[in-house]
Amino acid sequence: MTTLLLAAALPVLAAPVALASPVPRPDHVVVVVMENKRYDAVIGQPRTPYISSLARRGANFTNAYGETHPSQPNYLALFSGSTQGVTDNTCIRRTFDAPNLGRQLLDAGLTFTGYAEALPFAGYTGCSSGTYVRRHNPWVDFANVPSGLNRPLTDLPSSWDRLPTVAFISPDLCHDMHDCPKGDADAWLRRALGSYADWAETHNSLLILTFDEDNRTDGNHIPTVVLGAGVRPGDRTERIDHYAILRTIEDLYGLPPLGAAARATPLKVLSGMAG
């Protein structure tokens, strides 16, 4: 009886709880957005060998979708967590005073720059110039993003360690697959960012390649690939969208999720990420 009483009086020790691994904070994230192609028209296709190779090397999201049609609202969703009420491709001749990823990064003491191919000069706010179109450049639509951070792609640093914390890249109407053959865009991506993709894998950085929308033939099913240091290669079958991509970047840098990103599950690409 005495032994039983002593045993009952002893505190019950809880089983050890495994702590979640901290999510590594990438030194750099580069986001590239291409145009108007359904998933199975790009991934695994002979005319897009480089993008297909990235899909094999990184996390290939087989169930990624755009939010809507046409292009412009999807870019705004990716950058700000909202389409900002935009429903078409009409040139936005005003700026929104709304939260967005660029402003979040700056307020957190981090850096952001948007690079647009064929942009005629830094800070340009026109609707188009040659093969450049504003509708594919969401950062120019926000008054709280300094105009000097809207830069031509020719200003992309030649040394990758000089990149901002997060860089968005908008190819021109040829190299985003909008107006030219897919093979041209695939070859351009290798030339422009192939060395960054290689560098990122050994320098704590990420490349995110996605598309704005499909060609209206497959339910807005789009390619999305994430490659870089710490990324587990292989197919991912969970359904994602641009809000999930935004949420992922925000989580990586400890930023509060914006708009619809708050309801999105971040991409499970690095060990320790929730979702």
Q: What is the pLDDT of residues 29-55, one digit of tens each?
A: 999 999 999 999 999 999 999 999 999
228 vs 267: CA distance, rounded Å: 14
- Per-residue pLDDT at 162 exceeds 50: yes
DSSP category for residue 250: H
The number of C-alpha atoms within 13 Å of 202 and in the hemisphere containing its C-beta is 3
Output the average pLDDT for the chain: 92
Q: Is the pLDDT of residue 19 over 60?
A: no
Specify the pTM: 0.91
Looking at residue 24, its pLDDT comes to 78
| 139-157: average pLDDT | 98
In the chain, at which residue ranges do the beta strands (DSSP E only) sit? 28-34, 59-61, 64-65, 112-116, 128-129, 132-133, 150-152, 166-170, 205-211, 221-222, 224-228, 234-236, 240-241
Q: Which of 200, 268, 235 is nearest to 59 (CA)?
A: 235
User: Given this model, what pLDDT does residue 5 score?
Assistant: 38
Instruction: Give yes or no for a contact between 33 and 75, defined as CB atoms under 8 angstroms apart.
Output: yes
Q: What is the mean pLDDT of residues 239-244?
A: 98
Alpha helices by DSSP H, listed for the chain, are 2-9, 49-57, 71-80, 101-107, 182-200, 242-252
pLDDT at residue 184 tops 80: yes
Instruction: Count the Cβ atoms, other than its own, within 10 Å of residue 147.
Output: 14
Residue 237 and residue 37: Cα distance in Å, rounded?
Answer: 19
The structure tokens 């002893």 sit at 10
pLDDT at 170: 98
Query: Residue 271 has what pLDDT?
Result: 61
With both helix axes pointing from N to C terminus, report the angle between 71-80 and 242-252 in degrees, rounded to the nearest 10: 20
pLDDT of residue 216: 98
Range of lowest pLDDT (12-16, 118-122, 155-159)? 12-16
pLDDT at 273 over 70: no
pLDDT at 1: 42
Q: Indicate if the pLDDT at residue 21 is higher than 90.
A: no
> Looking at the domain covering 24-263, what would its CATH class be?
alpha beta
Closest by Cα among 219, 258, 254 to 84: 258
pLDDT at residue 25 tops 70: yes
- For 83, other C-beta atoms within 10 Å of its C-beta total 18
pLDDT value of position 243: 98
Q: What is the pLDDT of residue 98?
A: 98
